[in-house]
Amino acid sequence: MTYNKAYFQELIIEQIAGTISEEESRLLNEAIQNDPQVKQLWDEMQQKLSSDKAQGFFDNIDENKAWDKIETEIKQVRPINTRRIQITKWLSMAALLCIAFTAGYYWRKMPVNETVAAKRDIKAPAIELRMANGQHIDLSDTSKKMINVPFAHLKKGANGLSYQLDNNKTAEWSTLVIPSKLNYRIVLSDGTEVWLNSVSSLRFPFAFSGKTREVYLTGEAFFKVAKNAARPFIVHTDQTDVRVLGTEFNVNTYQTDKTVTSLVEGSVSTSGQDKRKMLLQPGYQAVYTPVTGFTSQPFDSAVELAWMNDIYYFHDTKLHDISDVLLRWFDVKVVFDDPAKADEAFSGAIQKNKPVDVFIQNIKASAGVTAVLREGVLHIR
């Protein structure tokens, strides 16, 4: 396993501050004992953070001010529970400290050609609403806050899209398409809120009719479903159907051979192509594959739903799987010039609102790989 330097810097800060979880403390202690690089990092950071200068920083830090600074840069933040708020808040402060230790080094060492490549003037991808009549509406265009269509008034705001219907019985269907690099929120006619991750789409009717409320998802989305016991809400994916009355849950279909449904609160019934079903309890996720059917396992919402805060956490994850995130979040294709590197495992985090060069420098520093970004393609060997 290869250790990510920035990831363990955060763990060390949390260990010294006394805010680390039991599992992460165990992971850190094992790494200190077994990996000379992590041991050296522990000794160096412990000395730095125990110095009079560092102690003065901790004593005088305004936690709320630091959090406010980070919070203004996070898009579409959706606190799920108290624990998630606490973890996110601490990690934001820890990130500030890690940046203080490492940012200067990384940016001074970054080759000029990579920096220039990252800053090329490329047309930004657009969020589109594809109407049934063939019309495509660019929701990324900030020049128009209101858009009128024959049966509704669309309102674009900082929090995403909402709409008001002229005819509540309209059966018009549309598809909301989110490209790479972006995410988006929409409020449906029944008040249900949907947050869509990058490279995702949601097909929905402008008004729900009949005895059910049904939508179709590709990619990943978090749903906060408006309660209506008389009309179940159903999310269709290629492999599963998720049926709820009113609850909060996440559905991830990025992997072609696996669908993961993670329940935050309420209850969820999910069924597969083979008609097998599973009833979920809060704090558990249903993992479905056509071969094995359903399995249930607990999950940490602070990690599973971190994408809503533009963060992706990975633990002992193969670089090949991480490369899929780079493509979705940065529109960067990864080519493994040395195929063996694709199976190397990493632990750490990716932040969407940071340049991809930060991640590249991290894996180069911690894994000893050669990584070069050229014309939107990351070559690893």
- How would you label 164-193 residue by residue, b for 16+ Cβ within 10 Å and e otherwise? eeeeeebebebbbbbbeebbbbbbbbeebb
pLDDT on residue 278: 96
Q: How confident is the model at residue 50 (pLDDT cuts 50, 70, 90)?
A: low
Q: How confident is the model at residue 114 (pLDDT cuts 50, 70, 90)?
A: very low
Count of alpha carbons within 13 angstroms of residue 220, beta-carbon side: 23
Q: Of the candidates 311, 273, 266, which has an alpha carbon nearest to the alpha carbon of residue 293?
A: 273
Beta strands across the sheet bearing 377-380: 333-336, 377-380, 371-374
> CA 352, CA 330: separation in Å to the nearest integer?
7
Q: How confident is the model at residue 55 (pLDDT cuts 50, 70, 90)?
A: low
Contact 242, 268 (CB under 8 A): yes
Q: What is the pLDDT of residues 220-272, one digit of tens each?
A: 999 999 999 999 999 999 999 999 988 999 999 999 999 999 999 999 999 99
Residues 6+ apart with CB under 8 A from 319: 334, 336, 341, 342, 343, 344, 345, 346, 363, 380
CATH architecture of 310-381: 3-Layer(bab) Sandwich (3.55)
pLDDT on residue 348: 87
Residues of the chain with CATH 3.55.50.30: 310-381
Q: Directed axis angle between helix 82-109 and helix 5-17, to 10°?
A: 130
Q: Angle CA(98)–CA(54)–CA(21) in degrees, nearest 5?
A: 55
| pLDDT at residue 344 is higher than 80 | yes
Mean pLDDT, residues 39-47: 81
| pLDDT at residue 61 is higher than 60 | no
CATH architecture of 147-303: Sandwich (2.60)
Q: What is the pLDDT of residues 180-227, one digit of tens each?
A: 999 999 999 999 999 999 999 999 999 998 899 999 999 999 999 999
Q: Give percent of the chain with pLDDT exceeding 90.
A: 50
- Mean pLDDT, the chain, rounded, equals 80
Residues of the chain with CATH 2.60.120.1440: 147-303
Q: What is the pLDDT of residues 283-330, one digit of tens each?
A: 999 999 999 999 999 999 999 999 999 999 998 899 999 999 999 999
